[in-house]
Amino acid sequence: MPRFAPRLLCITITAWLAIGCEIGLGAVRPEAPALDRAIEKARLGSWRSLIEQSGSLDELSKLQAANDFINRSVSYASDREVWGQDEYWATPLETLSRGRGDCEDFAIGKYFTLVQMGVPSDKLRLTFVKALSLNQAHMVLAYYPSPADQPLILDNLDRRIRPAAERRDLLPVFAFNNHGIFLAKSPQQKSAQPPQLLSRWSDVSERALAEQASALHERG
């Protein structure tokens, strides 16, 4: 992966969260027309079927299936357009209910979809990068087959799953998952900063887990 010399981590995180693809809290959704509700129901049903039927797939096939599904099912829109606020990290259920989201929502949706499909979370890292062609902050999902391997990048800008070395249009800044925060310069080096430093990540993780538990309870 291209190298990025990190600055003081807390400053970097604060700056990139401030200028990224818009993040924040939810808004009340107006009642959707019947057709919109039917499309939403079909989209969520397809997502649940994808997860339930993924048991026989190997990890690379799961990556491809999740990447294709989220990229096809979600249209890009800013948090202001979708939620009426400047900052919001949506759960996969929220993103797929609306069918719209920004780069964080694409990446977060893929992360939790893959975890539910059985991919170990320590192989997945949400990664803030600079999209050089757009000259702006961006988020992708990185998959590490093993800790020392070059990651594969799941993205909504380039919808092909490609090794990080082939994504010269992306300049990594830092990455994180529920195991910690990682420096772009040394991807195998975990930062001393706790994941809770990313309060929005903690919040969306709790909401996604609560939604998953509720869905399992309803099925049970």
Helix (H, G, I), strand (E, B) or coil at 217: helix
Q: Strands across the sheet with 162-163, in order?
A: 162-163, 152-154, 136-143, 124-131, 170-177, 180-183
Q: In angstroms, how far is CA 84 from the centroid of its own chain?
A: 20
Give the start-to-end residue ranges of the domains of the chain.
9-25+34-219
Structure letter (DSSP) for residue 155: -
Distance (Å, whole) CA 173 – CA 32: 39
The answer for residues whose C-beta is within 8 angstroms of residue 215's C-beta and 6 or more apart is 48
Cβ neighbourhood burial of 203 (10 Å; 0-12, 13-18, 19+)? middle
**pTM for the full predicted model:** 0.84
Looking at the domain that runs over 9-25+34-219, which CATH code has it been given? 3.10.620.30
* Ranges of the chain whose pLDDT falls below 50: 1-12, 14, 19, 22-28
pLDDT of residue 158: 96
CA angle (36, 117, 162) in 5-degree steps:
90
Per-residue model confidence as pLDDT tens digits over 155-189: 999 999 999 999 999 999 999 998 889 987 777 77
pLDDT of residue 6: 41
C-alpha torsion angle, residues 89, 91, 94, 98 (rounded to 10) = 60
Contact between residue 95 and residue 29 where contact means Cβ atoms under 8 Å apart:
no
pLDDT of residue 187: 73
